[in-house]
Amino acid sequence: KAGVTQTPRYLIKTRGQQVTLSCSPISGHRSVSWYQQTPGQGLQFLFEYFSETQRNKGNFPGRFSGRQFSNSRSEMNVSTLELGDSALYLCASMRQSSYNEQFFGPGTRLTVL
């Protein structure tokens, strides 16, 4: 069974631009969560989607948004990029009826210049 895939793997943007990251979950997994990982803050929860509905949102500004499609694929968008948005963005998928066991993709490394 294929794992979680994320595209692109690496991205370089400049301040003020916007970016869209994509995540394809493991087949059959309907829950997708996004996390931001930085050296200073560690792994921070961004949001979670299940059946195209956002179920939970972390403490991030409104510039961070996401959505989920009917095939469970998910995208996240960051508008008006700031230098502090440079991070590894991780997507995780989960099957229902599990103990929150999440399977992570390789991440998208975003660098904002």
Partner 1 sequence: TQLLEQSPQFLSIQEGENLTVYCNSSSVFSSLQWYRQEPGEGPVLLVTVVTGGEVKKLKRLTFQFGDARKDSSLHITAAQPGDTGLYLCAGAQGGATNKLIFGTGTLLAVQP
Interacting residues toward partner 1 by CB under 8 A: 4, 31, 33, 35, 42-45, 48, 50, 55-56, 58, 90, 92, 94, 99-107, 109
Q: Give the shortest CB-46-to-partner 1 separation in angstroms.
A: 10
Q: Which is nearer to partner 1, 59 or 70 (CB)?
A: 59
Q: Which is nearer to partner 1, 9 or 15 (CB)?
A: 9
Q: Which is nearer to partner 1, 58 or 67 (CB)?
A: 58
Q: Give the shortest CB-40-to-partner 1 separation in angstroms.
A: 11
Within a 10 A sphere around the Cβ of 74, how many other Cβ atoms?
A: 25
83-105: string of b/e by CB count within 10 Å (b at 16+)? Answer: eebebebbbbbbeeeeeeebeeb
Q: Which is nearer to partner 1, 4 or 76 (CB)?
A: 4
Closest to 52 in 3D by CA, of 71, 34, 36: 71
Q: Are 76 and 66 in contact (CB under 8 A)?
A: yes
